[in-house]
Amino acid sequence: MGITIHYKGKIDDVEMIDNLIYEISDICNDMGWTSTIIQKDKNDINHPPIKGIIFTIHKECEAVGFIFDENGFLRSPISIQYYDESDKYQLIVSVKTQFSSPDIHVVLIKLLKYIKPKYISNLEVTDEGEYWETSDMERLKYLFDFLDNKINIFRDILEGNKEIFSKSDSPELIADKIEKLLIKYMSNNKSG
């Protein structure tokens, strides 16, 4: 659960990857964000055929990646360690912003909107905060608040019932107990 931005695409020209890396690195320096450039050392035969940049825009936001394979397709940061050319899920980059803020979410959307016409004209973005499509800050704030509220309710339910859990419980039993707690909570809180 949480607001996440998903994006995928292919750079317009693989010769532009270095320019994109340089530009994002420059933005990171200006904004005080930490970044790491990913590129293959000529002597490293174990490095996957990828290059790009990964950076952090906020301590409570997942890392953002612009990592490309040799054909210019965006790759998930997971491909740094577990590169699999045939894994279609590695062609989608996902960044959870839920635990940062709506403002941080907007920063990432604006960066994607800047990059799309300049480098990745076929960039597809799925924004669970709906800001990509609407630019509606009030809706984005509502969604952040709504999910924060639901997460807090879930936490309170678990904390208020922690005595029913045992260290010896199997994962399946824990899931079953959580499901029963949620059903009980929902049946007790039906609006009517």
Query: What's the pLDDT score for residue 1?
Result: 56
Query: What's the pLDDT score for residue 82?
Result: 78
Sheet holding 64-69, edge to edge: 34-38, 50-56, 64-69, 74-75
Asked if 41 contacts 47 with a C-beta cutoff of 8 angstroms, the reply is: yes
Query: Whole-angstrom Cα distance, residue 23 to residue 20?
Result: 5
Sheet holding 93-96, edge to edge: 93-96, 4-8, 124-127
Query: What CA–CA distances, in Å, run from 107 to 33, 91, 100, 132?
Result: 12, 22, 11, 11
Query: What's the pLDDT score for residue 141?
Result: 96
Query: What's the pLDDT score for residue 191?
Result: 54
Beta strands per DSSP E along the chain? 4-8, 34-38, 50-56, 64-69, 74-75, 93-96, 124-127
Q: What are phi and psi of 78, to 5 degrees?
A: -60, -25
- Give the residue from 65, 61, 87 showing the smallest Cα distance to 144: 61
Query: Whole-angstrom Cα distance, residue 8 to residue 96?
Result: 15
| Percent composition of the chain: helix, strand, coil (DSSP 3-state, to 5) | 50, 20, 35
Helix H, strand E, coil C: the string for 27-64 is HHHHHCCEEEEECCCCCCCCCCCEEEEEEECCCCCCCE
Query: What's the pLDDT score for residue 124?
Result: 98
Query: What's the pLDDT score for residue 89?
Result: 81
Q: Where are the domains of the chain?
A: 4-134, 140-188
> Residue 157 has which token pair?
């339910």
Asked if 2 contacts 99 with a C-beta cutoff of 8 angstroms, the reply is: yes
Listed as ranges, residues in the chain with pLDDT below 70 are 1, 42, 44-45, 191-192
Query: What's the pLDDT score for residue 192?
Result: 44
Query: What's the pLDDT score for residue 15?
Result: 96
Whose structure tokens read 């999910």?
147
